[in-house]
Structure 1
Amino acid sequence: MPQAVWQQVQHALLSESEVLQARPHNLAELESFLPKADAFAPASVLCGLVPRADGLHVLLTKRSQHLRHHPGQISFPGGRIESGDANPFDAAVREAREEIGLQVEHVRLLGYLEPLVTITGFRVYPAVAVIDSIYHAEPDGVEVEALFEAPLSLFLDAANEHPFDIEFRGAIRHLKEFRWQDHRIWGATASMLVNLRQRLGELP
């Protein structure tokens, strides 16, 4: 993959200092459902882009069915930021290593998307990174039951979005989902991928 492609993606993303000060891009949508701002727990996810012969692919995981939050859903590797983590990227890589055995030497940070808040009380910092195509990973069987790659082009085409509504705490939420093979990608993961498309779409 030409270096110019990665430089272009980097120009669309936020730096660490910018993301830590940025307003969550979905705050207005969820404000009525959320706890007070000081109650958010910081978390980070790894939005990994893998160069393949047919273009960039996104590394995704399927969460285990027994988990308390979002069981069985499609997500990025990631989790809560701990005191020993130097920054959100450090946390995302550590979580990816724990969940799927991804090694840090195969990951290079490009930048961040805007933070995202969740109805479970997390402020999530999405770290966008390139993952070497020679990486090795496998699910830990505890938090993650499967992993797969989906073409980035799927998420960059708004025609592939499918809107749907759910009722939550007596109100209607308007959500979007993507379908890839037998996977349904929705919720926070879909929202972050839409945010990535929006940022890439702002490039000259």
Structure 2
Amino acid sequence: MDTHLLSHLLLHKPIDYSSSLLAHPRLINGNFKSAAVLVPIVKRESGFNLILTQRAPHLRHHPSQISFPGGKVEPDDLSLIHTAIRETNEEIGIAPAYIKPLAKLNTIPTISGYKVTPIVALIDENYTTAIDYGEVSSTFEAPINHLINPKNTYKHHIFNKNHTYNLIFIPFDKKLIWGVTAEIIHAMNYITA
């Protein structure tokens, strides 16, 4: 897979997000703010890994959840790529010089009122972090092969106010990846084609 990962990423269209999630009543006709996350990929001897964060437990939105670094677009941001890189640098201290943007995935709306654009980027293997503990409690790497393996992905049906939708869950190393982060990872299944 390693020799094909980046070419598939650049040349193939990702699968779409869960149609039941996109049909959630709070996501239809919503007034969304723009946001971007970095989907950071780093090459290791064993293959490619994703760099993920665990959000700080005191945050009002999504406390302690596993996520990609990112956040809302600020007025001075030049582009969504700039937003993702800036937020990554602010949250976990990866210097922009270590980040090489590769592809933009489909935008996904969130029930917290954002339209999030994932920016896939290759991270220099010698990167270092400087965590802002006001936003993030930790970072970790997880092998892409594990995360996109259908055997490691679970779907759970949620019933909420006459609406049914599926949530994707990906367990990894005593952590549970779910929500928008899991949707983005699941949409990356196309890179193994």
TM-score over 0.5 for the pair: yes
How much does 1:130 deviate?
Answer: 0.2
CA distance in 2, matches of 1:195, 1:35: 19
Unaligned runs of 5+ in 1: 15-23
**Matching of residues 1-204 of structure 1 within 5 Å:** 5-12=5-12, 25-26=17-18, 29-34=21-26, 37=29, 39-169=31-161, 171-198=163-190, 200-201=191-192
> Relative to 1, partners in 2 of residues 1:102 and 1:119: Cα closer, same or farther, differing over 3 Å?
same
Q: Can you list the C-alpha shifts for 1:80-104, whole angstroms capped at 9, x where unaligned?
A: 0112111111100100111011100
CA distance in 2, matches of 1:170, 1:109: 40
How much does 1:162 deviate?
Answer: 1.5
How much does 1:27 deviate?
Answer: 6.1
How much does 1:69 deviate?
Answer: 1.0
Give the aligned length.
Answer: 191
CA distance in 2, matches of 1:163, 1:37: 26
Unaligned runs of 5+ in 2: none
**Matched-pair contact (CA < 8 Å) for 1:27–1:116:** no
CA distance in 2, matches of 1:170, 1:143: 34
> Relative to 1, partners in 2 of residues 1:186 and 1:28: Cα closer, same or farther, differing over 3 Å?
closer
Secondary structure of the residue that 2:23 maps to in structure 1?
helix
> Relative to 1, partners in 2 of residues 1:38 and 1:100: Cα closer, same or farther, differing over 3 Å?
same
> Relative to 1, partners in 2 of residues 1:32 and 1:162: Cα closer, same or farther, differing over 3 Å?
closer
**Percent identity at matched positions?**
31
CA distance in 1, matches of 2:146, 2:155: 15
**Larger CA deviation: 154-163 vs 87-96:** 154-163
RMSD: 2.2
> Relative to 1, partners in 2 of residues 1:142 and 1:63: Cα closer, same or farther, differing over 3 Å?
same
> Relative to 1, partners in 2 of residues 1:135 and 1:121: Cα closer, same or farther, differing over 3 Å?
same
> Relative to 1, partners in 2 of residues 1:5 and 1:35: Cα closer, same or farther, differing over 3 Å?
closer
**Matched-pair contact (CA < 8 Å) for 2:36–2:83:** yes
Secondary structure of the residue that 1:47 maps to in structure 2?
strand
**Matched-pair contact (CA < 8 Å) for 1:47–1:76:** yes
